[in-house]
């Protein structure tokens, strides 16, 4: 677009990148509705997330530490699972992720560290925390099964999708492309249903020194029509695939000069019909001012950008709406 207008190669990005360290509070609330005659099941958790990001040439190395998790639920059947989840965050709380310059995850680079932490914790701490041998073996099986699929399943984890945005090469002019790589979500409500989706930008605004960005999901539900029809005919008489809904929405506020998240929200919904719904809401809030570890001269100058607030909105057909 800029080549056409100005006859030269001009890249203008909405966000700069710098190294930083920050601490956040992450709150997660889940709700599971299973029929109008059953009370909804609520699960909530709060944790501290330390995020350290280093820009290394054209690579981004991010260490994410989740700690101090507390959780609660109003349903007794979920309490044991919550206790296990809290245990797991204490075993190896740090995941180091290598990403390309756009933010797309390439690999988890500290898998050996995670394995060593687990073996040490399993031998020295697990027996005291879970003295019952049968329960202890169950915890071991669950955790080791998860370790084998950790890297494969990483892009299915909504928490890390929120923490590791893939929008660092987002230009400040209209571009209809989706963000980042295709992702997979394994349905919690329909067995063996894998939904493939992209996150796409819905709106953005440059309010220097911050940038606000909203994303939503575009999925392949239409390609799952045969599987969904079979499911509804067998298990949901009286309803149809028109009642099915899958959607993810994410809102970010970034520091423009560092790409650091100031706050973010994620909302997820999967619905079979109005009385059978699973939702997740995440809120991420920065707790302390950032410590910039490396100050760099911006790679570009944007003297002609508007100084005031401006935004571009896209409708459902990706048309520009001012």
pLDDT tens-place string over residues 55-107: 988 899 999 999 888 888 877 766 666 766 676 677 777 999 999 988 889 99
Q: Report whether pLDDT(267) > 50.
A: yes
Domains of the chain: 2-294 (2.30.230)
Q: 178 - beta bridge partners?
A: none
Mean pLDDT to the nearest integer, 283-288: 91
Residue 114: is it exposed, middle or buried by C-beta count within 10 angstroms (0-12/13-18/19+)?
Answer: middle
Q: What is the pLDDT of residue 175?
A: 61
% pLDDT > 90, the chain? 46
Which band of pLDDT confidence, cut at 50, 70 and 90, is reported for residue 312?
very low
- Whether the pLDDT of residue 1 is over 50: the answer is no
Taking a C-beta distance cutoff of 8 angstroms, is the pair 71, 86 a contact? yes
Predicted pLDDT at 113: 92
Distance in angstroms (rounded) separating the CA atoms of residues 177 and 109: 29
* Rounded Cα distance, 203 and 79, in Å: 39
Is the pLDDT at 278 greater than 80, yes or no?
yes
Per-residue confidence (pLDDT) for residue 174, from 0 to 100:
59
Highest mean pLDDT among 76-90, 160-174, 201-215, 246-260: 246-260
Q: Give the pLDDT score at 7.
A: 42
Give per-residue pLDDT as tens, 99-152. 998 888 999 999 999 999 899 989 988 888 888 999 889 889 988 998 898 988
pLDDT at res. 301: 33
The mean predicted confidence, pLDDT, of the chain is: 82
What's the pLDDT at 187? 94
Q: Is 21 exposed, middle or buried (0-12, 13-18, 19+ CB in 10 A)?
A: middle
Report d(CA 232, CA 210) in Å as an integer.
45
d(CA 263, CA 254): 7
For residue 208, the model assigns a pLDDT of 87
pLDDT grade for 303, boundaries at 50, 70 and 90: very low
- The predicted structure's pLDDT at residue 110: 93
What per-residue confidence (pLDDT) applies to 56?
A: 84
Residue 294 has pLDDT above 50, yes or no: no
- Specify the pLDDT at position 50: 95
| Cβ neighbours of residue 52 closer than 8 Å, sequence gap 6 or more | 20, 21, 62, 63
**pLDDT higher for 312 or 135?**
135
Residue 198, pLDDT > 70, answer yes
State yes or no: pLDDT of 179 exceeds 80.
Answer: no
> What does the pLDDT read at residue 102?
86
- Cα–Cα distance between 74 and 44 in angstroms, integer? 9
DSSP class of 318: S
pLDDT at 284 over 50: yes
Provide the pLDDT for residue 173.
Answer: 64
Residue 36, pLDDT above cutoff 90: no
Q: Which residue has the higher pLDDT, 14 or 144?
A: 144
């Amino acid at each position: 677009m800029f080549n056409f207008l100005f006859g030269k190669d001009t890249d203008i990005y909405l966000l700069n990148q710098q190294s930083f360290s920050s601490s956040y509070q992450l709150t997660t609330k889940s709700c599971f509705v299973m029929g109008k005659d059953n009370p909804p099941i609520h699960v909530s958790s709060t944790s501290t997330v330390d995020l350290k990001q280093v820009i290394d040439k054209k690579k981004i190395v991010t260490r994410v530490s989740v700690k101090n998790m507390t959780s609660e639920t109003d349903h007794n059947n979920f309490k044991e699972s919550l206790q296990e989840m809290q245990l797991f965050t204490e075993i190896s709380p740090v995941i180091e992720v290598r990403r390309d310059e756009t933010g797309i995850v390439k690999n988890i680079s500290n898998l050996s560290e995670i394995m060593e932490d687990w073996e040490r914790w399993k031998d020295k701490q697990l027996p005291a925390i879970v003295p019952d041998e049968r329960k202890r073996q169950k915890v071991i099986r669950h955790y080791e099964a998860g370790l084998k699929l950790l890297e494969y399943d990483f892009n299915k984890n909504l928490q890390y999708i929120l923490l590791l945005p893939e929008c660092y090469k987002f230009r400040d002019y209209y571009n209809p492309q989706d963000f980042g790589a295709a992702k997979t979500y394994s349905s919690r409500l329909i067995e063996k249903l894998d939904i493939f989706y992209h996150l796409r930008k819905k709106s953005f605004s440059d309010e220097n020194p911050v940038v606000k960005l909203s994303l939503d999901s575009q999925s392949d539900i239409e390609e799952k029509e045969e599987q969904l029809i079979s499911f509804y005919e067998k298990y949901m008489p009286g309803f149809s695939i028109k009642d099915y809904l899958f959607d993810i929405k994410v809102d970010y506020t970034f520091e423009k000069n560092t790409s650091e998240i100031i706050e973010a929200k994620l909302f997820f919904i999967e619905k079979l019909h109005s009385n059978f719904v699973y939702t997740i809401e995440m809120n991420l809030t920065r707790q302390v001012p950032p410590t910039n570890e490396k100050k760099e001269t911006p790679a570009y100058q944007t003297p002609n950008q508007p100084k005031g607030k401006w935004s571009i909105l896209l409708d459902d057909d990706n048309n520009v709406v001012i």
